[in-house]
Structures are given as structure tokens and as C-alpha cells.
Chain A
Amino acid sequence: MENLVNFINAFIDLLSINVILLMLASTALGVIIGALPGLTATMGIALLTGLTYNVPLEYTFTILMGVYVGGIYGGSISAILLNIPGTASAAATALDGHQLALQGKAETAIKVTRFASIIGTLIGVLALALLAPPLTNIALQFQSTEFFVLALFGVLICGSIAAEDLSIKGWIGGLIGLSLAFIKIDSIEGVSRFTFGNPNLLSGISVIPAMIGFYAIPEVIKAFTNNDPLEVTEAKDTSNEKINVFTTVMKKFRLIVQSALIGIGLGALPGVGEDVAAWVAYDTAKKTSKEPEKFGKGSYEGAIAPEVGNNAAIGGATIPLLTLGVPGSPPAAVLLGALTLHGIRPGPMINIESPGFISQIAALILLAVFALWIVGVILAKPMSKILKVPKIYLMPIVAALSVIGAYAIGLSMFDLTMVFIFGVLGFFLSKMAYSPAPIVLGLILGGMIDDSFRRSLIAHNGSFSSFFTRPIALLFLVLIVFTIAKQLFDNRKQSKSKV
């Protein structure tokens, strides 16, 4: 109850004209970024982190949370109108959303997904406001052993789930990320590691420039190499069938609760995030539907489930980010960088070091929900025109924005070298179906994993006993072994069936 009161108080405190206007503008920007194919919520947050470097904390996170919520929803608009998901999290929405558009129900489909997104975000934010504060109290009991197994589990599960081709590629991505995280002066021994005498590498690879490289530059290149012409469906209904959006969505109450719980749960898993949440919500909705045969042919259930799932994952992904310092999704990983830049240290001590910050973030997401409602109504019609912006003009600007965005964070030309290297690497890896999510998560959590592992051994004089005697550590260790064993078993079964 106390958490709910804090959340409501934080929301009331936020209500100033500046914050409201800024939230409306940033949510609108997020919707446009999310809707334009090739631009993602992660990329939007990463680019804006540089722009907001000198902006006060309250306004910074108003902008970033607005872009986050708007970006995740925005992907559904292009999924419906173009059959190209603006963000990966809207890929499942395209299956039924675009079918509805082809049946002359584009406007209704947009309204339904918008309402579903609003409900999903709302449930996610309630979970964040109510669950995160007690979780920080539990996390206060965590020692190095728990942090090690939790972070390692995060990289592993992210690798398993995010892999697009072979699951081994997800693990390789995670291990590459961990290897990149080793490049710096070691915090325990104080020796430089894998820096090859380059002084710029002594403090490690900056996360935000690396993420800009991984997420923005490959999209710029891919926009020109995939020469698909865009056919935009107009955002208006041509069908005579009149549907009440509110009733259509609310009649699917069981589906909403089911998809929201999936979204929150998967969002809270380190690094997994909105994309997977949307697919699992869609798949589960199909399996539990009374009309599964309608899925893929223009089912409203098929449009509602992924949108509730991916938007609920926003709140879910923010829970481990704030309470443990472990991001639940790629956009949350960028937020982690932004938090650090502004002197906020997410983790078990957040309620002591930055009291009220969790409620503030939850309140900002709630404000973004209202902003999404207004902005969504305003932008629905002109979106068909916005989506026609030629990539020939848009993508060079994204490239220039990536460069200045990365430079703004550290004012270092070396960061631009990182953007270039990771951009080129990211392009080739994406061509070979390596997801950037486990690489980035490995880079972010690598330091924590390495330090916690050795600190745990130091605390127990080199004994591994703490990994087996501490209940939470043991639980995650079992999960790690189970994940690896299941993957190996599945691979063996797959190869046997081929023979």
C-alpha cells in the first residue's frame, strides 16, 4: 500500500507544464522512431542519451521514458500499414495487424493495438511500482555469489532466447560481449587487461557508443542493401463493419491478463525484453484461443496479445534494471548507461542512495501512457505520410546523429572509432543472424560477472562452496545447468531427426 501511495505522490509531483509538454513531444518522437522501419526504441534512446547529457535529471528521464514507451508502440503502426514491423517487438503484430489493414480495417486495427499497448504499459507500470521496492529489500541480502550467478544466467538465457538461427550463436554473442567487457584496467588486481597499450581502452569500452554502433549503423547499411519498395496502406477504414474498440479489447480480459503477465515475466528476465515477450504472448494467445484458425488471417486477438505483451515488458524490464542493475531488455540496457551518466547507481542501494527514484520512473511511464493516448490519436492519420519519408534522406541523417550522439557522451574521438568498429561488426554479425542483444548484455554485465566471481572466491578463500550453499545462488546455478542441458538435448534431437 505504501508503495502505491509513493507512486501516486510521485505522479502528482510530476505534473508540471514543462514535464507534460516534454512527455508529449518525446512520446510523439518515440512513436515516429518506432514506426519508421530501421529505427528502433533502443536506437532512439541511445541517440537521445547524448543529446540529454546536460539536461536536468527529471527532464532527461521524461524524454527517455517517453521515447521508450512511444517507440515500443510505434512499431505496430508500420506493422499494420506496411507489413514491416518498425521495431522487432512489433513483428508478431504484423501477422494479424496487416491482414486487418488488407481487409479495410487499418484504422480500427491501429486503435485496437493502441488501446492494447496502453493497457499493457499500465499493467507493467503497476508491477514496477508495487514489486520493485520490496525487491530492492530482497536484493540487499545479495552478495557477490548471487550477483555472479544472476548476471551469468541473464547473459545465458538472453543468448538462448534471442538467437535467431542457432542457439549456439546466442551464447557465442554473450561470450563475445563478456570478452569485450574484459578490456580495461582490472578493478581487483589493478593491471591492464587486453588493452594492447592503448590508453583509451584503460577505462573500458563505453557502452552507449558501442550500442549506437551495434543498433544504428547496421540499420543504416541494411536500409540500402534491402531494396524493398514500401507499399503503405492508408490509415483509414474502408470496410463497412463498425467495431467498438473499447468493447473489442476489454472482452478479451483473460487474454490481456495472460499477455501482460508474460510481458512482465519475460521483460524481467535479463536482456530478453519486448521482442520475445510479444512472440510468446502471440504464441500463447493462439494456443489458448477458442478460434486459433483465425490467427494470421486478421484476428483481433492476434493483434492485441503481442501489443499487451511487449508494452507490459517495459515495466517488467525496468524492475531488474532499477533493483539489481541488470537490464531486462536492450532499451533498458541503454537506460542503464543513461542512469550511470547522470550519477544514479541502480541496484539494491537505490532506495537509500536515490530515495523515491523508482516511484519517479514508474510515474514517468504512467505519464507516458496518457501521452501515448493523446499522441496516438493525433498521429494515427498523418502516419501514412510519415512512413513515406524516403530512406535516402532519412538514413544519412541517422548516421550523422549516431556519430554526434556517441561523441556527446564522452567528448572523445575514440568513441567514434568504437561506433565505427561496432557498427561494421554489428552489420556482419546481423547478416550471419547473430542478435546484438546478448553481445550488448555481455558487455554491460561482464564487469559485474568477473568481479563478483572473484570477490566471492576471495571471500571464501578460493572455495566454490558458496555457489552451492547459498539458496538463491544454487537456484540460479540449477537454472543455468538446466538451460545448457536443455539446449544441448534439443540440438542433439534436432541433428538426430535430420539423420
Chain B
Amino acid sequence: MEKKFMRRADLITSIILMIGSIGMFAMSIRLVLRTLEKNRDWYQSAGLFPVIVSVFLFLCAISLYRTAKRDGANFKFITLENTKNFILSSEFKIASTIIGLIAVYIFGLLPIKWLKYEYSTFIFLSGFMFIFNKKDVKSIVKTIIISVIATVMLTYGFGQLAMIPLP
């Protein structure tokens, strides 16, 4: 990633980290107070170390924010035009397609009780390869053959050879 874009991302990340660390600090302090309410010593509390970590995380987030600002990043880049360009960029499209495919496999196909592991894996593999491959007959046949072989190997390797109950 280009340094200019990296620092913009750092600026956003630093804000997320600051919010996250404040949230963590609040929850950790509540754990410490609960320990004290039970008349236990402060140093036994489950919240003690998270308090320390959240403080350091907040300090690091501030340092990241300052570095990003020092290198010229600001919030002016958050415009409708830039957001549109980002969403329409090929990298974003490819990344979100793959993330979507994996999400469909994990949360959509595998939990279906009547659809066996081998079928859901074949659908995932062939779908994945088909989307990114050329759409001619040779490539489609290759996709199907490789998907079948990979599915059989995964099912046999984990289900039979390693004797692991498949999802």
C-alpha cells in the first residue's frame, strides 16, 4: 500500500483502537470493582492486567494517530467520491468476493444438515474456481475435474485416513 494511503488507514485504525481501548478499560475497571466488592485484594482481579493493556493500547493508538497526522494524513479524504472509488476498485471487489465465498461455505453450506460435507466442498471449490477462471469449455471441465479430485482427497484424507468426523 502506498504510504499516503497507509497513513490514512492508520488514522482510521487509531480512532478504532482508541474507542476499543476505552471500551476495554471500562469493562476491566468494572471487573476490578466487582473484585473489591467481594472483599478480595485488588491484585487478584481478572480485570487488573486488562486495565494495564487497555491503557497501553490507548497510548499506542495516540502515537499512531500523531504519526499519521505528522505524515500528512487527515480526515478530508473521507468523501463520497473516494468511498465510491474504493468500493468500485478491483482489489475491493476481488477481496469481498473471496470473503463472501468463504462466508457462504462456512455459514451457508456446511451447516446444512442434509447436504454432506463432500457436496458442500465441491460446490465451494467449483464455484470459487469458476468465478475466477476463464469461461471457456476447457477451463470449466478442468475446474470440475480438479474440484472433484480435491473434494475426494479432502474427504478421504480427513474422514477416512485421519478418522475425523466431517462437519
Inter-chain contact B162/A53, CB cutoff 8 Å: yes
Q: Given A175-B57, A408-B164, are A431 and B9 neighbors across the interface (CB < 8 Å)?
A: yes
- Which residues of chain A are near B44, meaning CB under 8 Å? 188-189, 454, 458
What are 6 pairs between A and B in contact, CB < 8 Å?
Answer: A53-B164, A220-B98, A224-B94, A397-B125, A401-B154, A411-B165
Q: Is the CB of B53 within 8 A of A189?
A: no
In this complex, which of A53, A397, A427, A458 has the most chain B Cβ atoms within 10 angstroms of its Cβ?
A397
Tell me the minimal C-beta distance from B101 to chain A in angstroms: 8
Cβ–Cβ < 8 Å partners of A453 in chain B: 48-49
Interface residues of B, Cβ cutoff 8 Å to A: 1, 6, 9-10, 13, 17, 24, 27, 31, 34-35, 40-50, 53-54, 56-57, 60-61, 63-64, 67, 70, 90-91, 94-95, 98-99, 101-103, 105-107, 110-111, 117, 121, 124-125, 128-129, 132-133, 142-143, 146, 150, 154, 157-158, 161-167
- Residues of B with C-beta under 8 A to A189: 35, 40, 44-46
Chain A residues whose CB sits within 8 angstroms of the CB of B158 once the complex forms: 50-51, 404, 408
Compute how far the CA of A121 lies from the CA of B101 in the bound complex, rounded to whole angstroms. 40
Besides the known contacts A178-B53, A188-B44, A424-B99, 13 further A-B residue pairs in the complex with CB atoms under 8 A apart = A50-B164, A168-B63, A172-B17, A172-B60, A189-B35, A193-B47, A224-B132, A417-B107, A420-B102, A423-B99, A427-B95, A432-B9, A432-B10
Which residues in chain A, 157-186, are within 8 Å of chain B measured between CB atoms? 165-166, 168-169, 171-172, 175-176, 178-179, 182, 186
Q: In the docked arrangement, what's the CA distance between A449 and B17, Å?
A: 22
A469 interface hit (Cβ, 8 Å)? no
Q: Which chain B positions have C-beta within 8 A of A179?
A: 24, 50, 53-54, 57
Report Cα–Cα, A344/B106, bound state, in Å. 31
The complex places the Cα of A171 from the Cα of B40 at a distance, in Å, of 32
Asked if A135 CB lies within 8 Å of chain B CBs, one says no
Chain B residues, Cβ within 8 Å of A401: 154
Do B164 and A194 touch across chains, with their CB atoms under 8 A apart?
A: no
Interface residues on A, range: 35 or more
Distance, CA A42 to CA B46, complexed state (A): 32
- Quote the shortest CB–CB distance from A171 to chain B (angstroms): 6
A191–B57 Cα distance when bound, in Å, is 23
| B110: A residues at CB distance < 8 A | 403, 413, 416
**Cβ–Cβ < 8 Å partners of A458 in chain B:** 41, 43-44
Q: Which residues of A contact B164 (CB under 8 A)?
A: 50-51, 53-54, 408, 411
Instruction: List residues of A (9-53) whose CB comes within 8 Å of B's CBs.
Output: 50-53
Q: Chain B: which residue is nearest A419 at the CB level?
A: B106
In whole angstroms, how far apart are the Cα atoms of A188 and B61 in the complex? 30
Contacts of A403 in B (CB 8 A): 102, 105-106, 110
B132 and A392 form a contact (CB under 8 A): yes
Given A51-B162, A54-B164, A419-B106 in contact, is the A193-B31 Cβ separation under 8 Å?
yes
Assess whether A465 is interfacial by the CB under 8 Å rule.
Answer: no
> Are A400 and B124 in contact (CB-based, < 8 A)?
yes
A404 contacts which of B41, B64, B166 (Cβ < 8 Å)?
A: B166
User: B43 contacts A408, CB within 8 Å?
Assistant: no
Chain A nearest Cβ from B64, distance in angstroms = 6
Given contacts A431-B9, A432-B6, contact A225 B91 (CB under 8 A): yes
Contact A433 B31 (CB under 8 A): no
* A237 proximity list for chain B (CB < 8 A): none
Q: Is A417 touching B106 in the complex (CB atoms < 8 A)?
A: yes
Q: Verify if A457 is at the interface (C-beta below 8 Å from B).
A: yes
Q: In whole angstroms, how far apart are the Cα atoms of A182 and B124 in the complex?
A: 34
Report yes or no: A433 in contact with B6, Cβ–Cβ below 8 A: yes
